[in-house]
C-alpha cells in the first residue's frame, strides 16, 4: 500500500471523485512515475537571443558616472564597440571603472577572487537604453516559468524585471564558482542575465537543479547578438572561466506580480487540468477502492525552495509556486478546493524531543510544548503544528529536500541545550471517503 507517516503540518479540507476498481499500489506507482517524468521535463531555466536585425536593438548604450569625483562629466559607450578608437577607449574605461565584485555569505559580502573574479557596477552609477520588456524577453519568461492558477483571474501571475547590476568577467580567469543566490524579498522568483554584444571566449553560464544542468555558451555569437538566460532563484549556477575578452552582462532580479498580462485578456482560457497527464494519474489513484477508503490527507513535498517559514510570505506563496509544484497544487485544488501550501516538521525528531522541550512564542517568552496544541498556557503561542497521518505521493519526510528553521527550543536533562526544528514546504489535500467518491 501507499506510504503513510505521522507529520506535523499546519491545516487542510475535501471534494468528490468517482470510483474504479483499480489496485492502489499500481496506481500510486504510476502516479510517481508521472511525477518523475514530469520533474525531468519541468522547466527551471529558459534562454534565447534577440534578433540583431530587429529595429532599434543596436546600439546598446551604457552611460555611467566616472569614479573620479573631480570629474563631473558622464561617460558613454555603445555596444557592439566599433573600431573607432574613441569608443574602444570608452569601453576600456568602463571596465576600469567597475569595482571588484563580492558575493554574499550569510549576512556578509565577501571579496575572494578565487571564488569570484569579476567587475561590477551598481544601478545608481549607470543607466542603459536596453530593456528586456521591449523585445519580448519578459513575456517569454512569463510563459515558460509562470503557471496560471485555475479559474480565478485575480490569481494570474506576472513577472517584473528589475535591473540589479552590470558585470564584467574578463579573461583570463574571470569566473564565479557554483552558488545559489539569496532572494532579495519573498516575491523574488528568479534572475535574468543578459549578455551584451562584445567579443569573449569561455564564460559559459551553467544552471543546475536537482541533478539536471543547462549550459548557455554565449561566446560563439557574442559579437553580434544579445543573448539571455533566466532561471528560478533556488537554482545553482556558475560562470565558467572566461579565457579571452570581456563578458559583459546586465543582471535583473525577477519578482512575481499579483497580476500579469493574462489577467487582462477576456479571451484567456485557463489550462484544462483534465488534459494533463498528472491529473489523469492522480484521478486514477483516487478512484481506487483501497486507497484511503475512509478518506485522509495526501501530501506532496515541494521540489523547489520557498521562504515557507516567513509569515510575511504566506499570502503570496500559493500563487508563486514553481514548475511541477504548481502543477501538483492545481491538481489537488480540483479534488479539494481547500488544498493548501503549508509547512511540515521533520517527524524523525518529534517523538524523541517534543515532549521535553520549550518553544519561544511570538512574545519571546518560553512556553512548555506538549504533543498537541492544548499544552500551551499562552493563548497566542506562535506557530502551532498538528499531528496527522499523511500519504506522500513523492518523497517521504527525511529525504534531502529544502528545509528552513521552524522553531528554536531549549532542552533539559543533565545539561541545558538549544535545538532547532526544521520544516519542509508541502502541499496537502483532503480526500473524502471512498463511499463518497463513487
**Is the pLDDT assigned to residue 146 strictly greater than 60?**
yes
Q: What is the pLDDT of residue 264?
A: 31
Co-location of 38 and 63 in the same domain: no
**Is the pLDDT assigned to residue 306 strictly greater than 70?**
yes
Co-location of 307 and 223 in the same domain: no
Bridge partners, 300 (sequence order): 427
Q: What is the pLDDT of residue 311?
A: 60
* pLDDT tens digits along 349-374: 554 444 433 333 333 333 333 334 44
Q: Is residue 145 part of a domain?
A: no
Arithmetic mean of pLDDT, 169-193: 90
* pLDDT tens digits along 210-223: 888 999 999 999 98
Co-location of 324 and 428 in the same domain: yes
* Structural domain of 366: 4-42+273-437
Domain C-terminal end among 200, 233, 257: 257
Co-location of 294 and 429 in the same domain: yes
Q: What is the pLDDT of residue 278?
A: 83
Co-location of 317 and 416 in the same domain: yes
Co-location of 24 and 72 in the same domain: no
Name the band, by pLDDT with cuts 50, 70 and 90, for residue 260.
low
Structurally, the chain folds into a number of domains equal to: 2
Q: Is residue 83 part of a domain?
A: yes
List the one residue out of 301, 307, 303, 304 whose CA is nearest residue 405: 307
Co-location of 323 and 297 in the same domain: yes
Q: Is residue 92 part of a domain?
A: yes
Co-location of 96 and 24 in the same domain: no
Among the residue ranges 119-128, 130-139, 231-240, 380-389, the one predicted with the least confidence is 380-389
Q: Is residue 48 part of a domain?
A: no
CATH classification at residue 251: 2.60.120
Q: What is the pLDDT of residue 386?
A: 56
Q: Is residue 199 part of a domain?
A: yes
Q: Is residue 51 part of a domain?
A: no
Q: How many angstroms separate the CA atoms of 42 and 37, rounded?
A: 9
CA distances from 148 to 133, 134, 159, 190, 426 (A): 20, 23, 12, 17, 19
Site of grid cell 543578459? 194
Q: Is residue 53 part of a domain?
A: no
Co-location of 351 and 296 in the same domain: yes
Co-location of 421 and 291 in the same domain: yes
* pLDDT tens digits along 81-140: 988 888 899 999 999 999 999 887 767 888 888 999 999 999 999 999 999 998 889 988
Co-location of 197 and 230 in the same domain: yes
Domain C-terminal end among 213, 233, 257: 257
Domain C-terminal end among 257, 285, 313: 257
Name the band, by pLDDT with cuts 50, 70 and 90, for residue 396.
low
Name the band, by pLDDT with cuts 50, 70 and 90, for residue 169.
very high
Is 149 within 8 Å of 64 (Cβ atoms)?
Answer: no
Co-location of 75 and 222 in the same domain: yes
Q: How many angstroms separate the CA atoms of 168 and 186, rounded?
A: 28
CA distances from 335 to 272, 287, 319, 375 (A): 14, 12, 18, 34
Arithmetic mean of pLDDT, 54-68: 82
Q: What is the pLDDT of residue 198?
A: 95
Q: Is residue 144 part of a domain?
A: no
308, burial (CB in 10 Å: exposed 0-12, middle 13-18, buried 19+) = buried
Arithmetic mean of pLDDT, 15-41: 71
Site of grid cell 569579476? 118
Give the CA radius of gyration of the chain.
26
Site of grid cell 494519474? 281
Judging by DSSP bridges, how do beta strands 296-301 and 386-392 pair with one another? parallel
CA distances from 301 to 96, 177, 264, 269, 340 (A): 47, 29, 33, 29, 12
Q: Greater confidence, 238 or 381?
A: 238
Q: How many angstroms separate the CA atoms of 330 and 318, rounded?
A: 10
Amino acid at each position: 500500500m501507499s506510504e503513510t507517516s505521522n507529520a506535523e503540518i499546519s491545516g487542510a479540507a475535501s471534494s468528490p471523485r468517482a470510483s474504479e476498481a483499480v489496485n492502489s499500489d499500481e496506481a500510486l506507482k504510476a502516479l510517481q512515475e508521472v511525477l518523475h517524468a514530469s520533474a525531468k521535463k519541468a522547466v527551471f531555466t529558459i534562454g534565447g537571443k534577440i534578433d540583431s536585425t530587429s529595429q532599434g536593438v543596436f546600439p546598446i548604450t551604457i552611460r555611467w558616472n566616472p569614479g573620479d569625483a573631480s570629474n563631473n562629466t558622464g561617460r558613454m559607450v555603445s555596444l557592439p564597440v566599433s573600431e573607432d578608437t574613441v569608443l574602444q577607449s570608452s569601453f576600456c574605461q568602463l571596465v576600469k571603472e567597475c569595482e571588484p565584485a563580492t558575493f554574499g555569505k550569510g549576512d556578509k559580502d565577501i571579496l575572494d577572487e578565487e571564488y569570484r573574479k569579476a567587475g561590477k557596477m551598481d544601478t545608481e552609477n549607470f543607466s542603459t537604453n536596453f530593456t528586456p520588456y521591449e523585445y519580448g524577453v519578459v513575456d517569454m519568461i512569463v510563459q515558460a516559468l509562470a503557471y496560471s492558477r485555475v479559474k480565478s483571474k485575480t490569481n494570474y501571475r506576472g513577472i517584473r524585471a528589475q535591473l540589479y547590476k552590470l558585470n564584467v568577467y574578463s579573461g583570463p580567469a574571470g569566473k564565479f564558482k557554483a552558488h545559489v543566490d539569496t532572494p532579495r524579498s519573498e516575491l523574488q522568483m528568479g534572475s535574468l542575465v543578459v549578455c551584451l554584444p562584445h567579443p569573449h571566449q569561455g564564460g559559459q553560464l551553467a544552471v543546475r537543479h536537482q541533478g539536471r544542468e543547462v549550459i548557455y555558451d554565449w561566446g560563439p555569437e557574442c559579437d553580434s547578438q544579445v543573448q539571455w538566460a533566466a532561471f528560478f532563484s533556488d537554482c545553482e549556477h556558475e560562470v565558467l572561466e572566461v579565457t579571452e575578452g570581456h563578458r559583459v552582462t546586465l543582471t535583473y532580479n525577477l519578482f512575481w506580480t499579483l497580476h500579469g498580462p493574462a489577467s487582462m485578456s477576456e479571451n484567456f482560457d485557463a489550462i484544462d487540468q483534465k488534459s494533463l497527464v498528472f491529473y489523469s494519474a492522480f484521478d486514477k489513484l483516487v478512484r481506487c477502492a483501497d486507497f484511503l477508503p475512509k478518506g485522509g490527507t495526501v501530501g506532496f513535498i515541494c521540489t523547489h525552495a520557498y521562504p515557507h517559514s516567513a509569515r510575511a510570505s504566506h499570502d503570496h506563496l500559493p500563487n508563486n509556486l514553481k514548475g511541477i509544484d504548481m502543477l501538483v497544487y492545481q491538481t489537488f485544488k480540483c479534488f479539494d478546493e481547500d488544498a493548501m501550501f503549508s509547512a511540515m516538521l521533520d517527524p524523525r525528531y518529534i517523538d524523541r524531543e517534543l515532549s521535553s522541550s520549550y518553544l519561544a512564542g511570538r512574545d519571546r517568552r518560553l512556553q512548555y510544548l506538549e504533543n498537541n496544541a492544548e499544552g500551551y498556557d499562552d493563548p497566542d503561542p506562535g506557530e502551532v503544528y498538528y499531528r496527522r497521518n499523511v500519504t506522500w505521493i513523492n518523497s517521504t519526510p527525511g529525504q534531502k529536500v529544502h528545509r528552513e528553521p521552524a522553531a528554536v527550543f531549549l532542552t533539559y536533562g543533565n545539561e541545558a541545550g538549544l535545538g532547532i526544528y526544521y520544516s519542509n514546504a508541502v502541499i496537502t489535500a483532503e480526500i473524502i471517503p471512498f463511499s463518497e467518491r463513487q
